[in-house]
Amino acid sequence: SKFEYVKKFEHSNPLLPSTYMVVRIDGRGFTNFTNLHNFEKPNDIRGLQLMNKCAKEVMKSFTEIIIAYGDSDEYSFAFKKSANVFNRREDKILSCVLSLFSTSYVFFWSKYFGDTNTGGQKLLKVPSFDARIVLYPSLEDLQNYLSWRQVDCHINNQYNTCFWTIVQKGGLSTEQAQKRLKGTLTKDKNEILFSEFGINYNTIDEIFKRGSIWIRMISKKEMKQQKSRKPQEIKEQIQQRNQSEQINLEEEKKNGDSDVQDLKGDIIDMSLDVMTSALKISKKELLLVHDDLVEKPAFYEKYELIKKLK
Amino acid sequence: SKFEYVKKFEHSNPLLPSTYMVVRIDGRGFTNFTNLHNFEKPNDIRGLQLMNKCAKEVMKSFTEIIIAYGDSDEYSFAFKKSANVFNRREDKILSCVLSLFSTSYVFFWSKYFGDTNTGGQKLLKVPSFDARIVLYPSLEDLQNYLSWRQVDCHINNQYNTCFWTIVQKGGLSTEQAQKRLKGTLTKDKNEILFSEFGINYNTIDEIFKRGSIWIRMISKKEMKQQKSRKPQEIKEQIQQRNQSEQINLEEEKKNGDSDVQDLKGDIIDMSLDVMTSALKISKKELLLVHDDLVEKPAFYEKYELIKKLK
Amino acid sequence: SKFEYVKKFEHSNPLLPSTYMVVRIDGRGFTNFTNLHNFEKPNDIRGLQLMNKCAKEVMKSFTEIIIAYGDSDEYSFAFKKSANVFNRREDKILSCVLSLFSTSYVFFWSKYFGDTNTGGQKLLKVPSFDARIVLYPSLEDLQNYLSWRQVDCHINNQYNTCFWTIVQKGGLSTEQAQKRLKGTLTKDKNEILFSEFGINYNTIDEIFKRGSIWIRMISKKEMKQQKSRKPQEIKEQIQQRNQSEQINLEEEKKNGDSDVQDLKGDIIDMSLDVMTSALKISKKELLLVHDDLVEKPAFYEKYELIKKLK
Amino acid sequence: SKFEYVKKFEHSNPLLPSTYMVVRIDGRGFTNFTNLHNFEKPNDIRGLQLMNKCAKEVMKSFTEIIIAYGDSDEYSFAFKKSANVFNRREDKILSCVLSLFSTSYVFFWSKYFGDTNTGGQKLLKVPSFDARIVLYPSLEDLQNYLSWRQVDCHINNQYNTCFWTIVQKGGLSTEQAQKRLKGTLTKDKNEILFSEFGINYNTIDEIFKRGSIWIRMISKKEMKQQKSRKPQEIKEQIQQRNQSEQINLEEEKKNGDSDVQDLKGDIIDMSLDVMTSALKISKKELLLVHDDLVEKPAFYEKYELIKKLK
Ligand SMILES: Nc1nc2c(ncn2[C@H]2C[C@H](O)[C@@H](COP(=O)(O)OP(=O)(O)OP(=O)(O)O)O2)c(=O)[nH]1
Ligand SMILES: Nc1nc2c(ncn2[C@H]2C[C@H](O)[C@@H](COP(=O)(O)OP(=O)(O)OP(=O)(O)O)O2)c(=O)[nH]1
Ligand SMILES: Nc1nc2c(ncn2[C@H]2C[C@H](O)[C@@H](COP(=O)(O)OP(=O)(O)OP(=O)(O)O)O2)c(=O)[nH]1
Ligand SMILES: Nc1nc2c(ncn2[C@H]2C[C@H](O)[C@@H](COP(=O)(O)OP(=O)(O)OP(=O)(O)O)O2)c(=O)[nH]1
Ligand SMILES: O=P(O)(O)OP(=O)(O)OP(=O)(O)O
Ligand SMILES: O=P(O)(O)OP(=O)(O)OP(=O)(O)O
Ligand SMILES: O=P(O)(O)OP(=O)(O)OP(=O)(O)O
Ligand SMILES: O=P(O)(O)OP(=O)(O)OP(=O)(O)O
Ligand SMILES: [Mg+2]
Ligand SMILES: [Mg+2]
Ligand SMILES: [Mg+2]
Ligand SMILES: [Mg+2]
Ligand SMILES: [Mg+2]
Ligand SMILES: [Mg+2]
Ligand SMILES: [Mg+2]
Ligand SMILES: [Mg+2]
Ligand SMILES: [Mg+2]
Ligand SMILES: [Mg+2]
Ligand SMILES: [Mg+2]
Ligand SMILES: [Mg+2]
């Protein structure tokens, strides 16, 4: 039609090749949203599990994502350098990742928060998320990005844990608590927690202290095929991981996680630090390995979830 | 922390001032999604009403949107030229509009599709949407954009109506139907519908033929305040519209639409053509008026839905 | 070759259609450059004429530029809204306009500054210019852009004229002069000039006070062809302009300007204010007329220079 | 002033940090320009030397450029990854590099082409250049970029040498020559040159076959300061290079190159291949070394030119 010329006003923004594309999603106004929905303070495991579930849906759908990291109301997804999803069109990638995450949040809400019939927490208001894409040219920058988010998680959690403890257990008002914590250092806060409330910060769940991570792993089938070309050491580390995986899968089946049956393979959920120490490889190696391993996305038809290692 | 430098890799993309920013959202793979969920062919009023509901949520949340147009699995939202939402940052606007639309789609699904208890259509799979932003420098271009989408709606609907009629009522296979319609013109298709199936295309619901439109209108209170400065003719046209609004509101209340009580004011839903003929003003005037009227978004605290005029 | 993949890292940035593209060029470090080359203070007519010459070269080469405005060490070029030069690729437009302007500056230097043999000012150091492109969606914004630059010219010239007068004629040091003028208003500065040095600011050359402007005009041939469709009033105004043009052309020939012979037609050089009052049309009309007239660039094979009207 | 709002329409485009920014400049319509100015075919050493001179001016002015490569009517400039020139603003970098190159071309024209008094080639028309910026995230990509341009140089030169030989020495028309060479491979063309005209392609000047390269080198003073921290091997390689440098500098002085006196230090001009073999280090090492060495641009006050090694 004679109106079609308006299509020419569209502009596509192809992102620079050979860079890590990171999509970061963050809940809009989740200070209010978490209050309205009675999230436990400072951390509600249901909320984090729901976020993790959404992240997994995204990783299942976008097979060039190699790693995802989340905490609080945010999640970051890093595509491998060679990713060619939507020809690297910024708006397509941003919108499709974000939209799937968003709809998953509502869709799976009752799986984690229950519903009113069963005494659960009803979803009262439509949540929403913002999103952005950031490019990182080198693996080192990507690692520092992930560390940046993890340090942020740590600092916030340290503060919030202390804050809500002195409010909920110490009986202070929120204003008093704020005043009390003003200017305190990490060790001061740990000291307050320990001496006044008998809480050892180090024993708090890893998922609260360090956030969650999904890493795309090689499937067992693929592993066999790669055997010939991978250095022995790395192979063993991954085999070792696969054993613990087995165990966790068994656990999950017992716990009745309905996802487990049809999931096999290559997403793994644990904190970055835990993982690297468990696997006894450096973060750098870890990512390098995976960037390499996912070169053939054709093999990634199946996915596997394991609980965080403790 | 020493990792904070990674924040510098973020780039903001402020959109050119004084242009109409249009966000277009489109369902990903809705050919499959609508099949899986047994949407009526070629049009399922439930799906369209759900889309309209989502669009309304978006307009309620983003008060600088002046007009929204939707059909099939897509919706377009046009911000007024002077809009300053998120300082016109492209990623923020794109992501927040899209995310709210997406979560609303899942949240309100059962309102329109019912649930399994009541024999409704359960949501079986997370839907998702892509989105883009297009800038239009002039009102004329924006109008042509809307016309482009409406012509597209019309052409698709004409084809689909004819196609599914000869399949469902005429007993042809989809391949046969495709063959039959190859190369036919609009009048040929209308002829087939009429002579073979007794269907007068013109009598088909406006919402299917022309899509849906939301326009931000002036509230009655604002109207009074503007009386002194608006030309008499336009004032009367809008008063006339406000009367039919009243009636529709009554209808809605009877139909038990729970939104109606707390909605007053300034979003109106009708086809662009119908509206302009009803109001006896040109499309150009219509939009001009409204771009002007919404200069003071402070007055737009309340919203009002009326059904499409017939 | 196997290296060709690197071409994919190039990105093209097509500028939004239907907007006025403005290229602004500004001399780099011209504070030093003008000192080194003994420019007269505050204005050196040779420098301005050289800049004007460069601007004309640009307008001759880029026929979709409708207006150019310059003062001090800067020049702005506005392309018409419908311009399609280099498919509106930002880097191509920016670089080609800038490069031609830059090389012209060196090439024509001695035409205006003479050479050492004839006691002129030798070019001692390579000058250079920065450049940027700004988009304006409406004519009104473009006009305000031009006004912004012209007001800037005016303010700077007012200050500089006063400053250098009290230094050169009043014998103050530059520090003393700066101090003296600190906090003074326009009328204070005019008063100083008049009462202390007998200089009436209003009588200073228009080119110093208001800058220079090039406007692409309709050729006489084109004029005839347009007669039928242009409103009578505008036609007369342009005819009237063409008469003064004639006169100026004669003058130029006498002055031996070698360009004149082969120039016929459609670039005109005068201050915007002077022009609009001479033509007795508003700035808005002026630009509208020209944007319209240049719709058929095919007619613009020939160019015509006239001196600034006084 | 009330017009200042138009400044808000400017957008800055900061380029992604930690990537190599490459500015490529290319002569506009140099097919005509070189014909008009009677350039020798296929290569005119005067033109190449002029281009090299312009490139050197650019490198002197922009101290974060680590390498420049040129052939025919084009030149590429690569900034180091950490470059922070103009806060990495795209338009500023593009325009300032391009403008300086462009004005240098005209300014230094007569130095290489002589002037009419001395039987040289007068500059008859203003030349101009286009320019673009391309980002490369890794050193490998940057190297492949340089190789891409060098291979292009090689292929064009091979073809042009053969083409103009059979025209100029073989007496064919340009049409006949084109026909003759259609479909021939590299070795066919070398064979024609050798068997028919006794020309051994390998003996043709390196500058024609491989283009020119400028590399920013460490100064001798800086070298001493770095001695303690650089591995012995690299130090020796660079010392060895510095000896040949010395020789060339002597040669240059004899040849009366007036630049030599005031040049000391850190730009070196040779073909990439020649350099790496001379220095007995890989291209990768070469660039790595230099990216590292130029971390402290404060030391680069002086520059040094040596002729291409043969
Ligand atoms: N009680 C509770 N609050 C949480 C939990 N996770 C996140 N939140 C809250 C704490 C913060 O107020 C908020 C996340 O901080 P943000 O900086 O993202 O702020 P917010 O989302 O309110 O604003 P934004 O729209 O992102 O600028 O969400 C949780 O598990 N429990
Ligand atoms: N049966 C039925 N189908 C509908 C209805 N509304 C939309 N659809 C289907 C028809 C089209 O196949 C599809 C919309 O076309 P699109 O061009 O957006 O294709 P699709 O979403 O499959 O792919 P995409 O991801 O957008 O490229 O949705 C409806 O009310 N009823
Ligand atoms: N004496 C004299 N100076 C002039 C004339 N035209 C321009 N200039 C000088 C006055 C200003 O110092 C300078 C233009 O101001 P700018 O703001 O462009 O500064 P400049 O070019 O030094 O720095 P920039 O690289 O543009 O940031 O050029 C002239 O005709 N005569
Ligand atoms: N005779 C001669 N010609 C040369 C020399 N260096 C470059 N040229 C010519 C050969 C090519 O026709 C032209 C460079 O090719 P380009 O692809 O850049 O084409 P051109 O500049 O004509 O068009 P463009 O504006 O860049 O698209 O310059 C030279 O040393 N001698
Ligand atoms: O999706 P299409 O094919 O209707 O057309 P488009 O939306 O312009 O294409 P894309 O979704 O790839 O931007
Ligand atoms: O949202 P904040 O304040 O944590 O910081 P940000 O996400 O960088 O800011 P914005 O959401 O405005 O991009
Ligand atoms: O100019 P060409 O044809 O050698 O190739 P290009 O430089 O990539 O094309 P353009 O100048 O149009 O960017
Ligand atoms: O150069 P200035 O300071 O007059 O102002 P600007 O041109 O807007 O600044 P920049 O040259 O840094 O874009
Ligand atoms: Mg934020
Ligand atoms: Mg948030
Ligand atoms: Mg957050
Ligand atoms: Mg699409
Ligand atoms: Mg779709
Ligand atoms: Mg669609
Ligand atoms: Mg400036
Ligand atoms: Mg300047
Ligand atoms: Mg200036
Ligand atoms: Mg080119
Ligand atoms: Mg060229
Ligand atoms: Mg070239």
By Cβ distance, the residue of D9, D11, D17 closest to B9 is D17
Does ligand 3 lie within 6 Å of residue C28's CB atom? yes
pLDDT value at B121 more than 80: yes
Partner-chain contact B17 D11, CB within 8 Å: no
Q: What pLDDT does residue B191 have?
A: 94
- Ligand with minimal distance to D31 CA: 4
Q: Which residues does chain A have within 8 Å of residue D17's beta carbon, measured at their own beta carbons?
A: 137
Residue C236 confidence (pLDDT): 53
Ligand 2 atom 6, closest CA: B72
B17/D8 Cβ within 8 A:
yes
Cα(B188) to ligand 17 centroid in Å equals 66
CA D286 from centre of chain: 17
Whole-number average pLDDT of chain C: 77
Question: Which pLDDT value is given to residue A1?
Answer: 79
- Searching chain B, which residue's CA lies closest to the CA of residue A93? B130
The conformation of residue B37, written as its DSSP 8-state character, comes to: T
Q: What's the B92 CA to ligand 6 centre distance in angstroms? A: 10
The per-residue pLDDT for A125 is: 97
Q: pLDDT per residue over C18-65, tens digit each?
A: 999 999 999 999 999 999 999 999 999 999 999 999 998 998 899 888
Q: D88-112, pLDDT tens digit by residue?
A: 999 999 999 999 999 999 999 999 9
pLDDT of residue D224: 52
Q: When comparing pLDDT for B150 and B214, which is higher?
A: B150
Query: For chains B and C, what is the number of CB pairs under 8 angstroms?
Result: 22
Closest ligand, as measured to the CA of B51: 2
CA dihedral D285, D287, D293, D297 (to 10 degrees): 180
pLDDT digits (tens, 9 = 90+) for D174-190: 999 999 999 999 899 99
pLDDT at C177 over 90: yes
State the pLDDT at residue D288: 35
pLDDT of B266 higher than 60: no
Tens-digit pLDDT profile for residues B76-92? 999 988 899 999 999 99
Q: Which amino acids bring their CB within 6 angstroms of ligand 2?
A: B 26-31, 34, 39-44, 47, 72-73
pLDDT value of position C12: 87
User: B167 CA distance to ligand 2 centroid (A)?
Assistant: 18
Average pLDDT of every residue of chain D: 76
B159 vs D66: CA distance, rounded Å: 61
Question: What pLDDT does residue B218 have?
Answer: 52
Burial class of residue A256, CB neighbours in 10 A (0-12, 13-18, 19+): exposed
Q: What share of chain C is helix, strand, coil (3-state, %, to 5)?
A: 55, 15, 30
D98: tokens are 């391009």
The more confident residue out of A36 and D64 is: A36
Q: What angle do CA C12, C14, C18 make, to 5 degrees?
A: 175
Confidence tier at B253 by pLDDT (50, 70, 90): very low
Locate the chain C residue with the closest alpha carbon to D132: C91
Angle (deg, nearest 10), helices A232-254 and A272-279: 120
pLDDT at residue B224, as a whole number: 53
pLDDT of residue C224: 53
Between these two residues, A99 and B206, which has the higher pLDDT value? A99
Q: Judge: B138–C138 Cβ closer than 8 Å, yes or no.
A: yes
Q: Which residues of B touch D (CB under 8 A)?
A: 8-9, 11, 14, 16-18
Cβ-based contacts under 8 A for chains A and D? 22
Instruction: Give B30-63 pLDDT, tens digit per residue.
Output: 999 999 999 999 999 999 999 999 998 998 899 8
* Among the ranges given (A233-237, B256-260, C229-233, D217-221), the one the predictor scored with the smallest mean pLDDT: B256-260
- Please judge whether A16 and D141 are an interchain contact, meaning their C-beta atoms are less than 8 angstroms apart: no
- Residue of chain D whose alpha carbon sits nearest to that of C122: D107
Closest ligand 1 atom, CA of A48? 30
Task: Determine the average pLDDT of the residues in B284-307.
Answer: 29
Q: Which of B49-53, B305-309, C166-170 has the highest mean pLDDT?
A: C166-170
On the question of pLDDT at D291 being above 50, the answer is no
According to the model, what pLDDT value does residue A236 have?
Answer: 53
Instruction: Look at residue C308 and tell me whether its pLDDT is greater than 90.
Output: no
The per-residue pLDDT for range B61-77, each reduced to its tens digit, is 998 888 888 999 999 99
Give the pLDDT confidence of B177-194 residue by residue, as tens digits: 999 999 999 899 999 999
Query: Where do runs of H (alpha helix) occur along chain B?
Result: 30-36, 45-61, 90-107, 109-113, 139-168, 174-181, 186-191, 197, 206-210, 220-226, 232-254, 272-279, 283-293
Ligand 20 centroid distance, CA of C12 (Å) = 18
Query: Per-residue pLDDT tens for B135-190?
Result: 999 888 888 898 899 889 989 999 999 999 999 999 999 999 999 999 999 899 99
User: What pLDDT is stored for residue B221 in this prediction?
Assistant: 52
Q: How far is A248 from chain B (nearest CA, A)?
A: 27
Average pLDDT, chain B: 77
Give the three-state DSSP class for B23.
strand
Spell out the SS3 assignment of chain A.
CCCHHHHHHCCCCECCCCCEEEEEEEECCHHHHHHHCCCCCCCCHHHHHHHHHHHHHHHHHCCCEEEEEEECCEEEEEECCCCCHHHHEHHHHHHHHHHHHHHHHHHCHHHHHCCHHHCCCCCCCCCCEEEEEEEECCHHHHHHHHHHHHHHHHHHHHHHHHHHHHHHCCCCCHHHHHHHHCCCCHHHHHHHHHHHHCCCHHHCCHHHHHCEEEEECCCHHHHHHHCCCCCHHHHHHHHHHHHHHHHHHHHHHHCCCCCHHHCCCCEEECCHHHHHHHHCCCHHHHHHHHHHHCCCHHHCCCCCCCCCCC
**Which regions of chain A are under pLDDT 50?**
219-220, 222-223, 226-235, 237-239, 241-310
State residue A48's pLDDT score: 92
Task: Answer whether residue D235 shows pLDDT above 70.
Answer: no
A211 lines ligand 1 (CB under 6 A): no
- Nearest Cβ partner of B130 from A6, A95, A103? A95
Instruction: With CB atoms and an 8 Å threshold, state whether D17 touches B11.
Output: no
Calculate how close chain C gets to D153, using CA atoms only, in Å: 12
A113 lines ligand 1 (CB under 6 A): no
Q: What integer pLDDT is reported at residue A86 of this predicted model?
A: 98
CA–centroid distance, C130 to ligand 8, in Å, is: 10
ipTM of the complex: 0.85
